[in-house]
A = this chain, B = another copy of it.
Amino acid sequence: MSKLGAAPTLDDVAKMAGVSTATVSRCLNSPDRVVKATRERVQSAVDALGYTPNFAAQVMAAKRTFTIGAIIPTMENAIFARGLQAFQEELHQHGYTLLVSSSAYKPDIEEEQIRTLAARGADGLLLIGHDRDPKIYEFLNRRNIPTLVAWSFTPDAPVPSIGFDNRAAMCALANRVIAMGHTRLGMISGVSAGNDRARLRIEGVKDAARQNGLDVSDLTIIETPYEIECGAQAFSQLMGQASHPTAILCGNDVLAVGALRRAQEIGLRVPKDVSITGFDDIELARIVSPALTTVHVPHREMGRKAALQLIEMVEKQVTDQGEQLDTSIIEGQSLGPPVGI
């Protein structure tokens, strides 16, 4: 018997069952290669000892971890929660474990975490968005770690992606806003540096402006971290302008909720006095009143498909193109026609 406080090992089980460690290992990993009587003897030794395989040792010997790493920008709000949950569930179905960490939208932290996950032997990696130092892609490539990007689909990026067209989605929403009669648009965007989703959503608004003959230079865009309070501040800033916008497109629902709250605080009626739109369609968007008009993103589907594709990449060593998912516009009550001028 091993020392107290130390976990029982394969060896302990083997001794107790009167077989070799190889047999115990086989009982656990490919039971059909072991005759029933032995298997049962081993099983009861396992139970008696409360044996659990040592993960590190398994990894060393088998060179597989059945672990997938995911690095998301934040856990503080719900943007990634639903998609990640679905991702996790699908992984679990296939016998994989998910390791999550969040980078707080900081590129250097993300890089450190990618290295950590690599060191921990992640069989594959899920990252959010494409924008990052090319050296990271080199590293991943050299290490031969299958990597998939989610929340943003771009066909010819260094790694395949599964997501949606942020630019087109935001453009569609902006077109809807303009079709309502708005000509003075404002935008509260997330910080676009190193964030392709934010960058593309800005482009989408600009596309719509151009398509409708609006002057793009009239469009005021404020970039700010994805936090409710920041959305509120940006809203004040936009509305403080001499000729303030009649509709404000927000880079995501969190910012939109901040803007909405501030609007109500300063006595503006939404959408009567000002329209506000979001992006993502997180639960929050439907809870506030008026409910947000926003872009629905198929989070669960994205998470599930990302898991399936990543597993395929890991197991088959193939790399396909990825997949583009559709978004749709959710009609809330936060968008209406402009009143007066």
Contacts and interface: CB of A to CB of B under 8 A. Distances in A.
Interface of A: 5-7, 50, 52-57, 59-60, 65, 75-78, 81-82, 84-85, 97-101, 115-116, 118-121, 139, 142-144, 228, 257, 261, 264, 283-284, 287-289
A55 B143 contact: no
A52 B119 contact: yes
Contact of A121 (B55, B77, B121): B55
B97 A100 contact: no
Contact of A50 (B55, B142, B288): B142
Nearest to A109: B92
Contacts of A55: 56, 116, 119-121
Contacts of A57: 56, 60
- Give the number of times this chain occurs in the complex, counting copies: 2
A332 to B, nearest CB: 14
A156 to B, nearest CB: 23
A231 to B, nearest CB: 11
A85 B73 CA distance: 13
A53 B76 CA distance: 30
Contacts of A144: 5-6
Contact of A75 (B59, B85, B116, B121): B85
Contacts of A289: 264, 289
21 contacts: A5-B142, A5-B144, A6-B144, A52-B119, A54-B121, A55-B56, A56-B57, A56-B60, A57-B60, A75-B75, A75-B84, A76-B81, A76-B82, A77-B78, A98-B101, A100-B100, A228-B283, A228-B287, A284-B287, A287-B288, A289-B289
Contacts of A119: 52-55
Contacts of A287: 228, 257, 261, 284, 287-288
A257 B287 CA distance: 8
A65 B116 CA distance: 12
A39 to B, nearest CB: 21
A334 to B, nearest CB: 14
- Listed from nearest, the 8 A-B pairs whose CB atoms lie closest are A5-B144, A56-B59, A56-B56, A55-B119, A55-B120, A52-B119, A56-B60, A52-B115
Contacts of A142: 5, 50
Contacts of A288: 287-288
